[in-house]
């Protein structure tokens, strides 16, 4: 995927139409969960906050940590067990494109 950069550190993930369902993607080595509902888009760092393990698809709308098995909602980023949730990233929509700001 071609990564577009904008002044101020914003980077394009693609168009809103590219993400009709929750999807994992990556920019410059950072894995990102992109999800949307009713014209609103959320982006999260796709690493387990507990041990920084990689996340993988689990059942339904859940992601699971490959190392500790913690599970996270793709819709809210919340931990199913009540622990810390996924780290949200600043996101904006401009001209039909999704932009995130890393670190």
From the number of C-beta atoms within 10 Å of its C-beta (0-12, 13-18, 19+), residue 24 rates as middle
Query: Taking the complete model, does pTM exceed 0.75, yes or no?
Result: yes
**CA–CA distance, 48 with 67 (Å, rounded to integer):** 9
Distance of CA 102 to the CA centre of its chain: 11
* Entry field: residues in the chain: 103
The mean-pLDDT minimum among 2-6, 27-31, 36-40, 46-50 falls in: 2-6
In percent, how much of the chain has pLDDT > 70?
93
**DSSP string of 25-50, one letter each residue:** EEETTEEEEEEEETTEEEEEE-B-TT
């Amino acid at each position: 995927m071609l990564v577009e950069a904008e002044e101020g550190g914003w980077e394009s993930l693609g168009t809103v139409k590219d993400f009709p369902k929750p999807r994992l993607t990556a920019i410059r080595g950072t894995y990102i969960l992109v999800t949307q509902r009713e014209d609103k888009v959320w982006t999260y760092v796709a690493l387990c906050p507990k041990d920084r393990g990689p996340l993988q698809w689990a059942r339904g709308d859940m992601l699971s940590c490959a190392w500790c098995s913690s599970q996270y909602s793709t819709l809210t980023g919340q931990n199913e067990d009540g622990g810390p949730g996924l780290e949200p990233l600043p996101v904006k929509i401009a001209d039909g494109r999704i932009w995130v700001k890393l670190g």
